[in-house]
Amino acid sequence: MTAKKPQITTAGADPRLAGGRLTIDLDALAANWLFLAKKSKPAETSAVVKADAYGLGIVHVVPALWQAGCRTFFVALAEEGLRVKAVAPDARVLVLNGFFAEAFETYGQSDLIPVLGSIHELDLWKSLNARRKDKLPFALHVDTGMNRLGLSLTEALAFAADMRDQKPVLLMTHLATADEQAHALNLKQIESFQKLRGAFAGIESSIANSPGIFHARIGEYELSRPGVAMYGGEPLSSAANPMRRVVTLEARVVQIRTGLKGETVGYGATTTLERDTRIAVCSAGYADGYLRSASGSGVPLRAAVPNGGVGFVAGSKVPIIGRVTMDLTSFDITDLPVDTVSPGDFIELFGHNIALDDAARAAGTIGYELLTSLGNRYHRRYLKSESN
């Protein structure tokens, strides 16, 4: 049986004018979500689509996940929640980053659910909700070891003893070290959350982020919340990545030039050429989310991590040479056969041949930051199989 060609939806910059392109495989995204949903059973699986779906676009990502079966979505901000509702009106959408009084009317009109994480927010929500006949739902975030958002364990237990008309629809916490499965804090947080679940009996609970889904006790909770793993990022720091690649980033070659032995390259003259060197200068830089810390030289990170980022072109990996600048990045293509790379060609920055997280490590960061930093100057291609 011949495989159907994927449909291609485009967005962003005109491909004739753009300096780079992003290819987002929505089939791989959906497959990753289904894999995580199967692993999460018997828990329901939601999807974290904050930061514009990790930089890939809520308007494209949410419909693909909805079609795959996802019905609950998490965002950071109410504004993001409205964008989810615009493309998935029947979705349950929870807003993570706190609650402010001036947003209450929006929650009432849009069916968004705030995740409340302090006594102040609970009191504020209760006072505003008291004016309504139909009380609006809320979720409760409890801090079990992250020391970020959330009620303390003591505050949450006291609240549970006197819930009355303020019963949350969801109880949640966030794991701080789930990507390190052996870390002692995981067990401590799970045990604390178990105490909470007893006090909040009958209320849906959620603890597992992407790496948390791979923890043996995930099945004890009713809702998992995958984020980066859906988008192809590594869920665990100590195991091979089981997720399918979703995003490929490529930059166009602007110019091929030759630098002579003894000359320097780029800002700061941080690289002195040890041989005559063919250089491919590409139209992507830190203004496009390709981080300056990935530079081949001249950045503090190189003292700790000797090798900078690499690109992939003409069947080979090629190193960044000099500093990544605002709009341009240079690669050493000397070891490639002459005339195999030309202006207008594309060099892969991460994707099929360079893993997202490998590119991130070369820049001293994580895949999350690379994805959410992607700029708006790329031409974007969204690939999806034809509907049956």
> Where in the sequence numbering do the catalytic residues fall?
50, 267
| Closest-CA residue to 297 (of 318, 272, 328) | 272
SS3 282: strand
Give every CB contact of residue 260 below 8 A, 6+ residues apart in sequence.
273, 276
Give every CB contact of residue 388 below 8 A, 6+ residues apart in sequence.
none
| Closest-CA residue to 160 (of 97, 203, 191) | 203
Instruction: Assign residue 158 a region (left: φ > 0; alpha: ψ between -120 and 50; beta: otherwise).
Output: alpha
**Separation CA 243–CA 377 (nearest Å):** 27
Q: Are 54 and 374 in contact (CB under 8 A)?
A: no
**Separation CA 310–CA 332 (nearest Å):** 9
Q: CA 378: distance to chain centroid?
A: 18
Burial category of 223 from C-beta neighbours within 10 Å (exposed 0-12, middle 13-18, buried 19 and up): buried
